[in-house]
C-alpha cells in the first residue's frame, strides 16, 4: 500500500509531532508514504474567502502532482484533508470549475482530472489496514488509560464531500483507542464541537470559551489525556489550556502518538517531547 504524502504547513511547524508520529506509525504498519515533491499550502481557511477559483486551485495543484504518480493522497491535517476533498468535489461536480482550473494551471504542465482522491490516516488505518492488523502490531497494552477522543468540526462535514465518518458520532479513533487497550470515553456532544481555533485572532474570548468547554468535558469524564487528528485543535487544546482558564493540565496527543506508543515505538520518535503539556502521565501507563 502506497500513498502520496501531503504533510501541509502545520505538520512542518506547530504540528511537527503529528508528522513524526504519522510517518512512524505508517512505517510500522507497512504502508509506504512518498512525500509530494514541491507541495504548496492548501489554502486552509483563508483562500475561499478571497476567490473560489483560488480555493480550488491551491489544493488541486497538490492533487495534480500526486495524480502524475498515480497515487491517492494521504493528508493528516483535518483542514488540509477537508480542502483537498472540497477541491475534488468542485472539479467533479461544479459546472465550469474544471475549465477554470485548466486556465489557472496554464503554463505549468499540470492537470487534475479527478482520477485520484484524498484519504485521511484514520480512514486508511481503520478501513484499509484493518483493526486486526493494527492489533497484531500492539506490543504495549494501554490498559487503565482513559482517553477522550476529540475529532474536531471539519473531518466529517459535509458528509457528501469529505465524510468517511458519522457526522454526529464519529468512531474511528474510539475503535483505535480500544484496539490499543485503552478506554475511549464518550465525550457526549463534545466530540465534534468546534475548538474555536479559526476565530482565535478575531474573537479570542469566544475561541477560548469553546476550548475550555472541551477540556472541562474531558476532565469531568476522568480523562488521562485527549487525542485528536487535527493540528489546529491540537494547538488550541494543548497550548491554550491556561489561557482558556483550565488550571489542571491534561496531556493532548495526536492519535498517531498514542497508537505509536501502543506499537512500542520510542516516545522521542513520536515527538512526545514536543507537546506543550508534558505527556508523563501517559508514558507512566505505558512503561508501567
Closest CA to 21 of 263, 268, 256, 266: 256
Residues 6+ apart with CB under 8 A from 215: 226, 237, 241, 244, 246, 250
Residue 160 is predicted with a pLDDT of 82
**For residue 263, what is the domain's CATH number?**
3.40.50.11810
Q: pLDDT by residue (tens digit) across 225-274?
A: 999 999 999 999 999 999 999 988 999 999 999 999 999 999 999 999 99
* Residue 30, all three cell numbers: 507497512
Q: What is the pLDDT at residue 37?
A: 96
The three-point CA angle 130-284-184 to 5° equals 40
Are residue 179 and residue 99 in the same domain, yes or no? Answer: no
Q: Residue 26: exposed, middle, or buried by beta-carbon count in 10 A (0-12, 13-18, 19+)?
A: buried
Residue 202 sits in the same domain as residue 112: no
pLDDT at 106 exceeding the cut of 80:
yes
Q: Over the chain, what is the mean pLDDT?
A: 93
Residue 128 maps to a domain:
no
Q: Is pLDDT at 140 greater than 80 in this prediction?
A: yes
Full domain range(s) for residue 179: 140-287
Mean pLDDT of 129-134: 97
Q: What is the pLDDT of residues 4-28, one digit of tens each?
A: 999 999 999 999 999 999 999 999 9
User: Is residue 93 located within the same domain as residue 157?
Assistant: no
Burial 259-279 (b: 16+ CB within 10 A, else e): bbbbbebebeebbbebbbbeb
* pLDDT band of 157, cuts 50, 70, 90: confident
Q: How confident is the model at residue 85, as a pLDDT?
A: 95
- DSSP E strands in 102-236: the ranges are 118-119, 146-149, 183-184, 225-228
Same domain? 154 vs 18: no
> Using CA atoms in the order 147, 280, 28, 148, what is the torsion angle rounded to 10 degrees?
10
* 106 lies in the same domain as 148: no
d(CA 168, CA 22): 25
Average pLDDT over residues 59-73: 97
Q: 30 with 147, same domain?
A: no
Q: Is the peptide bond before 271 cis (omega within 30 degrees of 0)?
A: no
- Pair 104, 167 in one domain: no
Residue 69 lies in a domain: yes
> Which pLDDT belongs to residue 141?
85
Indicate whether 173 and 92 sit together in one domain: no
Q: Choose the final residue of a domain: 88, 119, 150.
A: 119
Q: For 68-84, how does the pLDDT look when each residue is reduced to its tens digit (9 = 90+)?
A: 999 999 999 999 999 99
Question: Which pLDDT does position 203 carry in this prediction?
Answer: 92
Is residue 135 one of the residues assigned to a domain? no
**Length, in residues, of the chain:** 288
| Residues 144 and 283 both lie in one domain | yes
Residues 85, 154 within the same domain: no
* Total domains present in the chain: 2
Domain assignment present for 133: no
Query: Cα 52 to chain center, whole Å?
Result: 24
CATH number (domain holding residue 105): 1.20.1050.140
Q: Does residue 210 fall inside a structural domain?
A: yes
List all residues 6 or more positions away from 73 whose beta carbon is below 8 Å from its beta carbon: 3, 4, 5, 6, 36, 62, 63, 66, 84, 116, 117, 118, 119
**How far is Cα 126 from Cα 131, in angstroms, rounded to an integer?**
6
Beta sheet of 183-184, edge-to-edge order = 183-184, 146-149, 225-228, 252-254
Residue 132 lies in a domain: no
Q: Is 246 left (phi over 0), alpha (psi -120 to 50) or beta?
A: beta
Percent of the chain with pLDDT strictly greater than 70? 99
The model's pTM is 0.95
Task: Using the 3D structure, point to which of 119, 150, 170 is the last residue of a domain.
Answer: 119
- In this predicted structure, the answer to whether residue 90 has a pLDDT above a threshold of 90 is yes
In a domain, 113, yes or no: yes
Q: What would the grid cell of residue 200 be? A: 482565535
Do 168 and 100 share a structural domain?
A: no
Dihedral sign, CA of 150, 156, 158, 159?
A: negative
Which residue's entry shows cell 520518535? 269
Instruction: Let me know whether 84 and 154 are in one domain.
Output: no
Instruction: Identify the pLDDT of residue 244.
Output: 93
Residue 130 lies in a domain: no
Domain end position, chosen among 89, 119, 149 = 119
Amino acid at each position: 500500500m502506497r500513498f502520496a504524502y501531503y504533510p501541509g504547513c502545520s505538520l512542518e511547524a506547530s504540528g511537527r509531532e503529528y508528522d513524526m508520529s504519522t510517518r512512524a506509525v505508517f512505517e510500522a504498519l507497512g504502508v509506504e508514504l512518498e512525500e509530494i515533491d514541491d507541495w504548496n499550502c492548501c489554502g486552509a481557511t483563508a483562500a475561499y474567502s478571497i476567490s473560489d477559483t483560488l480555493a480550488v486551485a491551491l489544493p488541486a495543484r497538490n492533487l495534480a502532482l500526486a495524480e502524475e504518480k498515480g497515487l491517492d493522497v494521504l493528508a493528516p491535517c483535518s483542514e488540509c484533508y477537508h480542502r483537498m476533498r472540497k477541491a475534488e468535489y468542485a472539479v467533479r461536480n461544479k459546472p465550469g470549475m474544471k475549465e477554470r482550473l485548466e486556465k489557472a494551471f496554464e503554463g505549468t504542465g499540470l492537470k487534475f482530472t479527478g482520477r485520484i482522491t484524498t484519504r485521511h490516516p484514520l480512514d486508511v488505518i481503520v478501513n484499509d489496514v484493518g483493526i486486526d492488523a493494527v492489533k497484531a502490531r500492539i506490543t504495549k497494552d494501554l490498559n487503565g488509560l482513559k482517553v477522550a477522543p476529540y475529532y474536531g468540526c471539519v473531518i466529517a462535514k459535509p458528509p457528501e464531500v469529505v465524510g468517511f465518518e458519522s457526522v454526529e458520532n464519529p468512531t474511528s479513533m474510539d475503535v483505535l483507542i480500544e484496539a490499543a487497550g485503552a478506554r475511549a470515553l464518550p465525550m457526549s456532544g463534545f466530540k465534534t464541537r468546534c475548538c474555536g481555533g479559526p476565530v482565535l485572532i478575531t474573537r479570542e474570548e469566544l475561541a477560548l470559551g469553546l476550548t475550555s468547554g472541551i477540556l472541562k468535558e474531558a476532565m469531568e469524564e476522568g480523562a488521562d489525556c485527549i487525542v485528536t487528528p487535527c493540528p489546529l485543535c491540537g494547538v488550541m487544546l494543548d497550548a491554550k489550556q491556561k489561557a482558556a482558564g483550565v488550571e489542571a493540565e491534561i496531556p493532548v496527543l495526536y492519535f498517531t502518538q498514542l497508537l505509536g506508543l501502543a506499537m512500542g515505538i520510542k516516545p522521542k520518535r513520536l515527538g512526545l517531547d514536543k507537546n506543550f503539556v508534558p505527556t508523563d502521565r501517559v508514558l507512566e501507563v505505558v512503561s508501567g
